[in-house]
Structure 1
Amino acid sequence: MSSSDEEIRNDHYGFLSLRSRLYLALWGIFFLVTTGSGIMVWYIQKLQVLVNDDIPRSITAFQSAEALETALINQKGFVTYYLQDRDPEWLHRLGEYRQIFREKLTEAEKHASTLPQKELIREIRVNYERYILAKDEVIAHYVHGRVAEGQARHPEIRVLFFRIMQHCEDFKALHSRSMTALQEDVGRETSQVRHVTLFILMVTTALIFTLGMRISRQILVPLRRLAREAGAASCKAGNEVAVLSRGVEGLIRNAGEVSRELERSRENLEQAERMVMVARLAAGMAHSIRNPLTSVKMRLFSLSRSLNLDADQKDDFAVISGEIDHIDTIVQNFLEFSRPPKLKIQSVSPSDVVDRTLDLLRHRLESYGVTVRLKREKPLPPISGDPEQLKEVLVNLMENSCQAMAGTPGHIEILEIMEKDGAGCPVACLCLHDSGPGIPADMVARIFEPFVTTKEEGTGLGLSIASRIVANHGGTLAVVSQPGRGACFTMRIPLISQGQEGEGDGPHPHH
């Protein structure tokens, strides 16, 4: 008896039929893929909570502590300036920064989640009130000419000042350790996802290989022999093979889709890790750069008021001040990129946003020599969005267009129209087309990626932030450009559905 006959005999008298074993194997692969996908979704949701909730909360608290230090340093500087020239304007500025300090202290208190953090906030508040009272008494002594009495209080005030600064540093250190712990959590979750992915791929590959061998050994070989021996019966056998072949091809496609989905998940996890690193980098930059910049700007302003400068020296001071503002803008871009914007959703017409933007940029456009042509048949219907964030997108796009035209006279055309998306739903569409040199062809596909820029001094984050804001509104931001023919940026945002009209707190676009 041949081996093929023996296999047919075993299949006929076996406990499970061949069909049952094939179905069992297919259901096993389906169960494995479904379970693995569920595990992957669970891990990704955990990572989303870390990246979208916990990390931005720690960054915000860290920035609040930074702002407390800056406001306190500015208060000290304004009192010093007042004691030097007795200009009442310094006392007015002192009051403003005291209010800023209290607001930032309240914000930091909201983000204090542990007992040590709350205790530090309480110490800062108590010592700050004592600091203000002592400072006001010193100012009163100087105002009434009691200089010696005022100078006698300086050591006490100095102790309070440095005590508050130390509490702020301790508060930042607590949140810095919290961000480090969050990064470690992301690393552990990423490692778990890698292990699960590898296990699923190995087991799926083994099951598919086993199933293929069984099909070849127990189905294809007997069918070929029957086709040779049975003649007309081969037609029916051929149909069975075709059906089975289509089933296997579908299974292979599903396995390929799962593999691609796992690969996309891995890329998302790597992107989450990079976002954590960028967040820590942004926080570190704010700590390491912004305080020295604030001190330099204050000193520079003080020198410009106290020194008798000629025209060249004034130009030098203006250039230095401009470069400091440029550095501060770069740091601010990093901070905006590291945390997702918090949208304040309301019903607003995109046409109103365009009008506000043009009114805001009117003088700046004139300085660039750029004219704007607005094409609007009637105002666009309302969308559910944050007008300030959308205005930031339009400002960014128009600023880029003006800078691309390099100071030469040009124009920007804004077209407002209605379109339908792939599902047939209406969307508001804003098209901004400039007369600049356009975007190089090799950069068009990557222009919305972080750190990609066509400007020598740009950070490459403006368009990435703009694209993320539009995406958070449920819309898209696209670009079409040809060298020498300008660039056309198109922003599409869905309208408010009928079920949302009249509901102030209805469903919002995903964040």
Structure 2
Amino acid sequence: MAPALPLRTRIFLIIGALVVINVIGASVMIWHTYRTQSVLSTIIEGNLTGYRSAANLEVALVNQKGFVTYFFQDGNHEWLRQLGEHRQIFRTRLEEAYHRAEDVHQQRILDHIEKEYERYTTLKDQVIAHYLAERRDQGLRLHPAVREHFFALMNTCEQYKALHAARIQEAQKTGIEQAVRLRLIAAAALTGGLLLAVLLSIILLRQVLGPVNHLLQITSRGDQAGGGGGNAVSALSMKVEGLLADVDKTHLELARSRESLLQAEKLAIVGKLAAGMAHSIRNPFTSVKMRLFSLNRSLVLDSEQKEDFDVITEEIRHIDTIVQNFLEFSRPPKLVMQPISPSQVVDMAVQLLRHRLKSYDVNVTIQRTQPLPEVSADPEQLKEVLVNLIINACEAMENGGRIDIQEAVDADDPAGPMALLHVRDDGPGIPERLREKVFQPFFTTKEEGTGLGLSIVARIVHEHGGRIQIDPAKGMGTTFIIALPIKE
């Protein structure tokens, strides 16, 4: 006896069969839909157009009847002119019918119509010639032959029209047959799907819900609240939720512990690295600063050279500050707090970076109605926050751009009145999945980044009793919002 297939395999096979039946049924229906559309297109574009051409031929032929009789009665040549116009219309309709002919049979009928029409017009021209020559008796004797040709020609046009009508009926019959076939296929697919659904229901009842009820009875022994309101799956889910909650809690605690250990290890490495950098980098910069100070006292410089000299001095001091900030990450310095308006710090940071902003082709605009109220802050540390944010924005905008610094006051903040600084760039922005990680130490998306800039920024802002966050609004660019408590 062959071994029974696993439950999951049987369920997947039945579901797969249902999907295949639905796909095949839908594909056949779509195919028949296109076939039906093709039939309708054939009717509209071919047979109906041909039918119309045959009708137009009849109309054009009927319109020629009577003009010679009118001319015979009153002798007005205007009737002959109108006859010529309608003859031209008939020939135009005949030419159109030739272009629309689809097979040899239609071509033969049109050839016969053309020959009959030539005989008909020839006889009619003879009648007109007799009338013009005042030989009315001879013209009247030719009239019966003209009428015979006219009716023969009408009969041929009617045959041509009947041919297209028959083809339209044939196409209609084909469409009806396809519709019946489509209904049969749909009924077969529906029956097969219902049978497979019944089979799947039996398997679920016997081999899924049965074991679930048995497991529920085992887990509910001695438990008065184990009924679950008659829903076995819901009751069993309630039993398992407690275990899953404990597992999730334990997993979360383990993850936090692991993160703390990794953070402590990183901080230890930073501390060792900072100790070496203090002697390897700061001492040469101290010597460079002393030499620059000496040169500044001895050299005679013009205004442009003096400006360049000041920029070099300021940039060296800035590099020294960055090294100091790197050391502060492992051994933060004590803040030198003093009352100062954040607007002053913004102006100092923009003035400090004016040459670098020009090199990045970045324009900075400050939106300020009036200077912000004073806060208790360390100006240098707060300036370092803005410098970091502005430089990061410049590096994010590879082809230049714009940075907007908007100042505002939030008097309704739950923590008290806050001075707000919105620093927005029009760069590519930070993906939503990375926004929670950018303030973590050593997290960076730059190839040569240290991952300390934004973590130092966050630490400085928090040490000032404020907060920093990324505006969650979607769109281009990134907006950092700094909130600092206003000094009472």
TM-score bin (small chain): 0.3 to 0.5
- Where relative contact order (Cα < 8 A, 6+ residues apart) is larger, the structure is 1
Instruction: Compute the TM-score of the two structures, normalised by the length of structure 2.
Output: 0.44
Which has more radius of gyration?
Answer: 2
Structure 1 length-normalised TM: 0.42
